[in-house]
Structure 1
Amino acid sequence: MSDRQEFDWGSWKRIDCAEALSLLVQLKVEVGRRHPLWNCLHRTEVLARDSASDDVLIEITGTSGVALFVVHLTWSQAVDANGVFPGVAELGVAAVPSELRSES
């Protein structure tokens, strides 16, 4: 997944708390110590899901504000030893439709 990828937001939907938790658990299964999201997992919230793919929209809250990422889950039950998967693309807040972003 490229950092410059554009997304068709038409198939994306906000998700409820139960689905968000389930997807966060899967993300934590897939992200290993070498993955760029490793140190951010404790500050991560899953906001939305693409019904046309395995992509999820996550928000990471930090001291300098929030960052939004699209993550392509692999549904593997193992960590990628090289830290390449799951694929991640960082997005600017303005690139994400307001109805998919966090309400806070």
Structure 2
Amino acid sequence: MLVAVQTRNRMTFRSLPLVLLALAVLTYAAYFSVLTITRYNAFESRALDMGNLNQAIWNTAHGNWFHLTNQPGTVNRLSLHVEPIIVPIAALYRLWPDPRLLL
């Protein structure tokens, strides 16, 4: 009986750093998500960063894969950055077509 209690306490102490790390990561993500969405709602997002990515994801979600129209000389986001994560985000974008999904 005493051995089982000691083993359980060891497992608790071993998992405590992982639990604290997960809590810190979730707190960090929640804080910056709220911060960036608040900035976006106050019209403080940056046009080129947010606009380029939003346009590429919207176009990918609608069949024009990685297409850009606001960069001179380029028509494809892949000519600027290789970002394969755009494809699964574009699938989510079909469900909720809002730039705040990117934040």
Q: Provide TM-score, normalisation by structure 2.
A: 0.24
Query: Structure with the greater relative contact order (CA < 8 A, sep ≥ 6): 1 or 2?
Result: 1
| Greater C-alpha radius of gyration | 2
Relative to total residues, which structure has the larger strand share, 1 or 2?
Answer: 1
